Amino acid sequence: MATSLATFITHQRVIPDNARGNPWYDDGNILLVTDRAVYRTYKGLLVSKSTWFAEAVTRVHLASILRLSTKYGASTLRANALATIERHFPVTLSAWDRVRSATESTDWQPWVCDPILIINLAREVGAFSVLPAAMAMLTNDSSAGEVFGVALHSNTPRYTLPARSRLNPDDERGFALMKEFNHVSIIRTIKFIRGVGARCTRPPQKTPVVAGRAPVGSLALVSRVSLCDATFKDLAADFLELLVLENPMGYPDFIIRVDRVIQNCERVCAVCWDTFRKGYTTGRKEWWEELPRVLGFSGWADDRLQPVEP
């Protein structure tokens, strides 16, 4: 089997003259190696011209800095590198909400937010603070087939990930447990929603707009019967259908769908709506508080999960 140019350069520590491509700047600070040629250029030039190169260069540098600073005890460098990662994989629910809402903005940086890369790197250098959020993100955004490269059905593609992108064996158990934890959390939320307003007899809290223009004796002015029980049961049925039809469906994505209906309260009474909102908020907090325990930590107060202070 022929040796690739990249392998030859790595082993021999030399670049053959006939392999030098154009451009080749003697004072360049980055090498680009292809199958047939090597190009030497400037990192700043590449970064300024290509977002992809900017992301790739930053990812490599961040991981390298974290590994080297850990190996040689450079605490300040390590803290700065970890702080960058923790901004994307936080230890508080409020910060998590900001991160998830940023996924649709131009500030989103996928090179930092590859959960498998971050999980493997965190295990390698002992940066455990990012593990719960990274695993929650991975289980929310990826199916087991994607993570393990398995086609679960004949009509689904078989995913083949490069070795460096595969989840390390130590976290495969955590992935499975987090998947189940997300599913159980979703089911609990659906059961809670289904039970809201079960015995309510109060009318909806909002009066129809037409009532303000209705003549005396109009049916629009007649007190309406409670719709709370039926409304929340319908919501629960819709969410259950969503859970069945969408894969993967993690708790973070599911709870976003629940959040979208919170503003629509025309069909239910104020008391039941308040019960729904409080239960939704409590459920989210409980889910977040349990994340570390799923991975074997004692909780967010665990010393290993404390964020760095750069």
3-state secondary structure of 33: strand
Q: Contact, 26 vs 40, CB < 8 A?
A: yes
On whether residue 199 sits in a domain, the answer given is yes
249-271 as b/e: b if 16+ CB within 10 A = bbbbbbbeebeeeeeebebbbee
- For 158, list phi and psi in degrees, rounded to 5: -95, 125
Q: Contact, 10 vs 25, CB < 8 A?
A: no
Q: Which domain holds residue 219?
A: 181-294
Residue type, 174: G
Residue with tokens 């993100």: 137
Percent of the chain with pLDDT over 90: 29
189-227: per-residue pLDDT in tens? 999 999 999 888 887 765 544 444 544 444 444 455 678
Q: What is the pLDDT of residue 19?
A: 85
182-195: per-residue pLDDT in tens? 999 999 999 999 99
On whether residue 54 sits in a domain, the answer given is no
124-141: per-residue pLDDT in tens? 999 999 999 999 999 988
Cα distances from 138 to residues 141, 227, 251, in angstroms, run 5, 39, 11
Residues whose CB falls within 8 Å of the CB of residue 81, separated by 6 or more in sequence, listed in order: 62, 65, 66, 69
On whether residue 99 sits in a domain, the answer given is no
On whether residue 186 sits in a domain, the answer given is yes
On whether residue 301 sits in a domain, the answer given is no
On whether residue 113 sits in a domain, the answer given is no
Domains identified in the chain, total number:
1
Residues whose CB falls within 8 Å of the CB of residue 20, separated by 6 or more in sequence, listed in order: 37, 38, 40
On whether residue 35 sits in a domain, the answer given is no
60-97: per-residue pLDDT in tens? 677 888 888 888 888 888 888 888 888 889 999 999 98
Residues whose CB falls within 8 Å of the CB of residue 170, separated by 6 or more in sequence, listed in order: 123
For the chain, what is the mean pLDDT? 79
3-state secondary structure of 232: helix
32-65: per-residue pLDDT in tens? 777 788 888 876 676 666 665 555 556 667 788 8
Q: Which of 14-23, 132-141, 171-180, 278-287 has the lowest mean pLDDT?
A: 14-23
Q: What is the pLDDT of residue 214?
A: 44
Rg, Å, the chain Cα set: 26
Cα distances from 147 to residues 140, 190, 210, 245, 276, in angstroms, run 12, 27, 54, 20, 35
Listed residue (280, 286, 233) closest to 260, CA to CA: 280
On whether residue 258 sits in a domain, the answer given is yes
